[in-house]
């Protein structure tokens, strides 16, 4: 199963949040336990603790970007500047792909409100928006 398909399985069938679902497909690549990731990212859904802020998939993908870089930041702190430049480029590409950075703007509602939850459910936004972002983000990560 491709990473994109597996992430959607975690998101839609296993009911993990968007950040957990996306990071879980990278656990084996970086020898991180799935339990650790699900615990670490439990509060990241819907734009950090349902606050509608920066998309949790973007935040999590920047973590993966750091792991993918395989840089030694402890021995060579100058590497941090290179990582920041790569992260800026990734954020720009994410914004082009998704259309925005903030969860509330992507969904068109406040995900922490009752009205927002109804809007998300009634408009099938988990399917129409979130799945697209998860798949698109994995595509961006895999292109690196």
pLDDT attached to residue 74: 84
pLDDT of residue 106: 98
SS3 144: coil
Which are the contacts of 20, defined by CB distance < 8 A and separation ≥ 6? 10, 37, 38, 41, 42, 44, 45
Residue 77: is its pLDDT beyond 90?
A: no
d(CA 100, CA 76): 33
- Nearest CA to 10 among 45, 48, 47? 45
pTM: 0.94
The span from the CA of 121 to the CA of 142, in Å, is: 30
- pLDDT (tens digit, 9 = 90+) per residue, 35-74? 999 999 999 999 999 999 999 999 999 999 999 998 888 8
The mean pLDDT value for 70-84 works out to: 88
CA angle 45/25/10 to nearest 5° reads 55
**Which is more confidently placed, 81 or 3?**
3
Q: What is the pLDDT of residue 2?
A: 97
Q: What is the pLDDT of residues 91-143, one digit of tens each?
A: 999 999 999 999 999 999 999 999 999 999 999 999 999 999 999 999 999 99
């Amino acid at each position: 199963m491709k990473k994109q398909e597996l992430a959607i399985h975690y998101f839609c069938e296993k009911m993990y949040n968007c950040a957990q679902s996306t990071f879980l497909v990278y656990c084996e690549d970086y020898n991180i336990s799935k339990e650790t990731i699900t615990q670490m990212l439990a509060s990241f859904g819907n734009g950090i603790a349902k606050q509608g802020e920066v998309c949790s998939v973007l935040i999590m993908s920047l973590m993966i970007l750091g792991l993918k870089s395989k840089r030694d930041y402890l021995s060579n702190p100058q590497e941090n500047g290179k990582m920041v430049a790569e992260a800026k480029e990734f954020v720009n590409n994410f914004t082009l792909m998704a259309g925005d950075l903030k969860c509330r703007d992507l969904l068109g509602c406040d995900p922490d409100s009752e009205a927002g939850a109804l809007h998300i459910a009634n408009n099938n936004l988990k399917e129409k928006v979130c799945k697209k972002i998860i798949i698109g983000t994995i595509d961006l990560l895999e292109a690196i």
